[in-house]
């Protein structure tokens, strides 16, 4: 439980930092840097694709060397550097670099961090452990959006000051990771049998194949939230009001995450995920 709380605090602080800047990025890119919506889509597409690809490699190598924490620390540190690049940005190319570094960090840290959570939770309570982490993560997002609203009202669209302030919670998040206690020899099977890294579709479990197919189809139709934020702004809403819309979204996700994860411990992951994946909520009970 100690590790789960520390990792929850880390995600809580990181999401405060990230969500202080995330709802501002589409307006910053379009109104301040002169980028088009197509450029916004290019930036998000490259950044998110990189994050997805790196999850495979970071998870494998953390298994291979039997260490999770170094990958997690490095990944969260990348997010801090990404905020710094955003602060010094003067063109959409620099924003692309900032997002790539930030998402590179997410791709590197996600699988090892989730493995740390799984290692630290008892088998019958893994859903609750991941749900607690997700709730803290999303609560941080809600606070970050609230901070963005406060700062945008008081700084009158001074984006650079907000980007600079976002570095504070991002840096604090990394510090908490140094107190995480990693278990020794958490993967005995890997210690006995060295399995080379392979990407062969035919060797995957049938259930995993189905999950990957449906996840791929779902992701194709799932556009970035930044387009929704940009559309809300272009519809005539003040930026402060757009941020409040996004705050409500995060508050609802935060309130529902933990109860949904606890429910998945009792009735099964698929039973909870299938109705939710139809678009009612975007929650992530752990497939453990």
Q: What are the structural domain ranges in the chain?
A: 2-183+203-280
Alpha carbon distance 227, 43 (integer Å): 12
pLDDT tens for 20-40 read: 998 889 889 988 898 888 888
| pLDDT band, very low/low/confident/very high, at 8 (cuts 50, 70, 90) | very high
Question: In the predicted model, is pLDDT for residue 114 greater than 80?
Answer: yes
Structure confidence at residue 192 (pLDDT): 47
Does residue 50 carry a pLDDT above 80? no
Q: What is the pLDDT of residue 276?
A: 52
Q: What is the pLDDT of residue 18?
A: 92
Q: Specify whether domain 2-183+203-280 bears CATH 3.40.50.300.
A: no
Which DSSP symbol is given to 156? T
Highest mean pLDDT among 3-17, 117-131, 262-276: 3-17
What confidence score (pLDDT) does residue 217 get? 67
Please give the Cα distance from 181 to 6 (Å, whole number). 10
More confident residue, 86 or 230: 86
Cα(4)–Cα(86) distance, rounded to whole angstroms? 30
Name the more confident of 10 and 211. 10
- The residue with greater pLDDT, 260 or 82, is 82
Give the sign of the dihedral formed by CA 201, CA 220, CA 59, CA 258: negative
pLDDT of residue 195: 53
Task: Give the pLDDT confidence score for residue 49 in this predicted structure.
Answer: 76
* Residue found under tokens 């890997």: 190
Q: Mean pLDDT across the stretch 130-143?
A: 87
Q: How confident is the model at residue 282, as a pLDDT? A: 43
pLDDT band at residue 93 using 50, 70 and 90 as cut-offs: very high
Per the model's pLDDT, the better-predicted residue between 10 and 189 turns out to be: 10
Give every CB contact of residue 70 below 8 A, 6+ residues apart in sequence.
none
Mean pLDDT of 240-258: 82
Instruction: Look at 135-139, 156-160, 191-195, 265-269 and tell me which has the smallest mean pLDDT.
Output: 191-195
Q: What percent of the chain has pLDDT over 70?
A: 83
The one-character DSSP state at 277 is: I
pLDDT > 90 in the chain, percent: 28
């Amino acid at each position: 439980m100690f590790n789960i709380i520390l990792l929850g605090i880390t995600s809580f602080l990181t999401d405060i930092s990230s969500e202080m800047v995330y709802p501002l990025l589409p307006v910053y890119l379009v109104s301040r840097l002169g980028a088009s919506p197509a450029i916004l889509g290019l930036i998000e597409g490259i950044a998110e694709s990189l994050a997805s690809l790196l999850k495979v490699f970071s998870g494998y190598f953390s298994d291979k060397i039997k260490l999770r924490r170094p990958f997690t620390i490095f990944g969260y540190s990348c997010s801090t550097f990404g905020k710094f690049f955003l602060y010094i940005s003067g063109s959409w190319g620099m924003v692309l670099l900032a997002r790539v570094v930030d998402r590179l960090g997410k791709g590197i840290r996600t699988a090892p961090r989730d493995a740390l959570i799984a290692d630290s939770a008892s088998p019958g309570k893994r859903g609750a452990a991941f749900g607690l982490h997700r709730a803290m993560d999303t609560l941080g997002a809600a606070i970050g959006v609230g901070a963005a609203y406060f700062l945008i009202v008081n700084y009158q669209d001074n984006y650079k000051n907000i980007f600079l302030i976002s570095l504070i919670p991002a840096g604090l998040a990394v510090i908490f990771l140094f107190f995480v206690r990693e278990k020794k020899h958490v993967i005995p099977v890997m210690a006995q049998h060295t399995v080379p890294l392979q990407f062969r579709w035919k060797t995957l479990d049938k259930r995993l194949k189905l999950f990957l197919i449906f996840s791929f189809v779902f992701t194709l139709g799932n556009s970035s939230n930044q387009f929704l934020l940009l559309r809300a702004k272009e519809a005539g809403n003040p930026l402060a009001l757009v941020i409040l819309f996004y705050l409500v979204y995060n508050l609802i996700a935060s309130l529902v995450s933990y109860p949904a994860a606890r429910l998945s411990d009792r009735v099964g992951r698929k039973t909870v995920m299938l109705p939710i994946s139809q678009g009612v909520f975007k929650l992530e009970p752990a497939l453990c």
